[in-house]
Structure 1
């Protein structure tokens, strides 16, 4: 645990709200500068214009590939050894560049990263359970935020509106006794709810806080929204809030789950897709169809159905034909919204499996995957197996060169912070984790969830 985290955890509640707001102002400075303004304005201005998507993508792709050869030792050597000549004359030539797997990214991170300033660190575990730490430049982050805000603006939501966010962050110290599971970020007019304290005992307090705040928009992990919505229906709790739009992220939702969220929170749901590593954003339009933000990159379907992403806004840790681990189904139908690209019929891979604690609290995949964020590039893979409610087996594959005793201590600290002391943890370092018959290695295996 770092010094800042220790100070936060030992501070009284009002100071924790203040620290949350101060951090919010720091993020505001990083995310909302001239690059953000320029990209957001461009997206608005070209809203109803005809765009040659392939020509624009080819130009952006060549600019990005040239950048990689100049600033990334890995790509400079890779292009030379495979005879990749720039500029490319057609998008189809992109397939001549070898695929970047998560394992190559993890083990060659130092050479892949560029020699320019990229101070923003992104940590990811993902549903594959591989720990990764990537870097973004400030302009990269501002472009991503411009696209996210543009997506929300198309549904009537703008910066500064009263906003509730469900997050897997450690907002609430373990020793806290009062039922306050949220922190206020006044820099963004945002009430942050931690999903790590969500249980049948605490759900009423969550719903009361939501009712008091009367959000104009809701975003974050949908697992928390779904659990709260189902609890409210069971207990006959009626909310009066009417958010303009609800934006789930990081996890899959089905039609029934979308319906219960909309019914209880009284707002329409619009889905989105990205990745912590920096994949191009996919978002849902007002007609309920998902589209790629083509200005941000290219998505290919590999022969096995998995998607390969090339993201033009990853100048700190460049991603070219990166295998994210998810699958998409594309349609050639044209959407009524006027978007020039194909419709994305489905996105598979964002799991919703969970581990259940003895008190009924569910710990979903997004939280379980985020645990290895604290151990960047030192754990090759992790898996959680639950056969009974009072115990969990945890298997992890440590990197032989990177994983240290301090990493082991940090892993145990984070596990007990996530699961508490009321459930038995059997933690084992292993040399490999078996794949399923489908070939996929699951992050969560549970006899309680099927």
Structure 2
């Protein structure tokens, strides 16, 4: 059922993108009204939230009316999962559970019901297909091991035949292993976190490897800065298509091959750009606030994810009716440097630290090759063993000689408008990506 339903959703989604903006707005507002009423009836957190604000879902008929609803913060999800923010219609233990710290260092969980999970995969797949991926392509995904959860239920036979079946390469794999797998697999399509893509490309260039020639490259999971985009584009002679999303809501916006901005998936989310709870004008920076339109198990209404974006009134030359975003604005995660002067992807320590028991929030600051500070906001089950695990993780990644100082704090300070969980205070662009 999962595969059939997912492909049905995918067919509808691929048709939707070519509808007019007016038609898409009607679809979006119809879904919005449904999810608001559903959350009010079935999710204790939102029932209380609506009542405390003195509003009822029937008061919200359009996107502009959404501003009557208070924002949902990451901390709200963290504190209320599962008892108060998962629908009473679902046993969260039977749902797909996604857990992430994102770029904030605040671990949270979100439950997806089966239909929502299939719909989310359809929206995700659409962004790849529209950038040239074919159903039986040689496709490689470099990222978190959690990406393996994106498999569609009930299609193992098709997967063995290569149908939408990427090769997954973990960020935890050494750079030599990543490149060796790419060399053997020879993918036509590579999807990667930008920082890991940069390290892989640098390694290929430094070692004069000739037989890895992707025709399509997509990035997601963090801000793609201009330096990495230009470097990879020039080396492989391709144009990266950047994809935007988050674990809580999956794909939310994406570049098409025209590269004129990001198409917003308004058939799956509402994306507001706000300053002081008012819409900003096209071309101005605004806080991104999401409302998911399809996940009944954990509805997210006016979810303040902490990102800053720039909306656009540009009409893409591709002809799609999906509205546009110019760009995401934010801090890029820094690379780290080992005692041997080798670059390390920031996602390796980030993924490991978020799994340490009792870590509520964290920030890692590399002051020198031999000194690292870690700020920790402790949760209820944090112990001395958690501290030793943190120190062990960092020494294993950067070198046994590294001095690790742990500081327990009440809050993690923001870097500008966002949390930056990995920060390196030493120059790293000229470092090698492998031991010499």
Q: TM-score, normalised by structure 2?
A: 0.82
- Against the structure 1 CA distance between its residues 170 and 369, is the aligned structure 2 distance closer, same or farther, given a 3 Å change threshold? same
Q: 1:354 matched to which residue of 2?
A: 335
The answer on whether the counterparts of 1:140 and 1:314 sit within 8 Å (CA) in structure 2 is: yes
1:125-179 deviation digits (Å, cap 9, x = unpaired): 12221111221112222111111211211122133321222124399xxxxxxxx
Q: 1:277 matched to which residue of 2?
A: 248
Q: Provide the rounded CA distance (Å) in 1 between the counterparts of 2:139 and 2:40.
A: 41
> C-alpha displacement at 1:440, in angstroms?
4.3
- Against the structure 1 CA distance between its residues 366 and 77, is the aligned structure 2 distance closer, same or farther, given a 3 Å change threshold? same
Q: 1:268 matched to which residue of 2?
A: 239
1:9-54 deviation digits (Å, cap 9, x = unpaired): xxxxxxxxxxxxxxxxxxxx8xx42331221111233454435222
- Against the structure 1 CA distance between its residues 317 and 91, is the aligned structure 2 distance closer, same or farther, given a 3 Å change threshold? same
The answer on whether the counterparts of 1:121 and 1:134 sit within 8 Å (CA) in structure 2 is: yes
Q: 2:129 matched to which residue of 1?
A: 153
Q: Does 1:193 align with 2:204?
A: no
Q: For residue 431 of structure 1, give the secondary structure of its aligned residue in structure 2.
A: coil
Equivalences for residues 363-402 of structure 1 within 5 A = 363-375=344-356, 378-399=358-379, 401-402=380-381
Q: Does 1:448 align with 2:426?
A: yes
The answer on whether the counterparts of 1:251 and 1:366 sit within 8 Å (CA) in structure 2 is: no
The answer on whether the counterparts of 1:239 and 1:264 sit within 8 Å (CA) in structure 2 is: no
Q: Provide the rounded CA distance (Å) in 1 between the counterparts of 2:383 and 2:45.
A: 26
**Structure 2 counterpart of 1:287, from 235, 258, 266:** 258
Q: Does 1:113 align with 2:86?
A: yes
Q: For residue 317 of structure 1, give the secondary structure of its aligned residue in structure 2.
A: coil
1:387-440 deviation digits (Å, cap 9, x = unpaired): 1112211110113x454566556655655555563533222322233445x354
Unaligned runs of 5+ in 1: 1-28, 172-184
Q: 1:424 matched to which residue of 2?
A: 403
> C-alpha displacement at 1:327, in angstroms?
0.7
Task: Report the number of matched residues.
Answer: 399
Equivalences for residues 178-327 of structure 1 within 5 A = 189-198=165-174, 202=176, 206-235=178-207, 237-278=208-249, 281-288=252-259, 289-303=261-275, 305-327=286-308
Of 258-267 and 103-112, the range deviating more from structure 2: 258-267
The answer on whether the counterparts of 1:398 and 1:429 sit within 8 Å (CA) in structure 2 is: yes
> C-alpha displacement at 1:67, in angstroms?
1.4
- Against the structure 1 CA distance between its residues 80 and 255, is the aligned structure 2 distance closer, same or farther, given a 3 Å change threshold? same
- Against the structure 1 CA distance between its residues 392 and 219, is the aligned structure 2 distance closer, same or farther, given a 3 Å change threshold? same
- Against the structure 1 CA distance between its residues 364 and 348, is the aligned structure 2 distance closer, same or farther, given a 3 Å change threshold? farther
Q: 1:125 matched to which residue of 2?
A: 101
> C-alpha displacement at 1:372, in angstroms?
4.5
Q: Provide the rounded CA distance (Å) in 1 between the counterparts of 2:205 and 2:126.
A: 33
Of 252-261 and 291-300, the range deviating more from structure 2: 252-261
Q: Does 1:95 align with 2:95?
A: no
Of 440-449 and 334-343, the range deviating more from structure 2: 440-449
Query: Which 4+ runs in 1 deviate beyond 4 A?
Result: 185-189, 404-420
The answer on whether the counterparts of 1:123 and 1:134 sit within 8 Å (CA) in structure 2 is: yes
The answer on whether the counterparts of 1:246 and 1:269 sit within 8 Å (CA) in structure 2 is: yes
1:246-268 deviation digits (Å, cap 9, x = unpaired): 11111222334223323434543
- Against the structure 1 CA distance between its residues 98 and 358, is the aligned structure 2 distance closer, same or farther, given a 3 Å change threshold? same
Q: Provide the rounded CA distance (Å) in 1 between the counterparts of 2:385 and 2:370.
A: 28
Q: Provide the rounded CA distance (Å) in 1 between the counterparts of 2:325 and 2:307.
A: 13
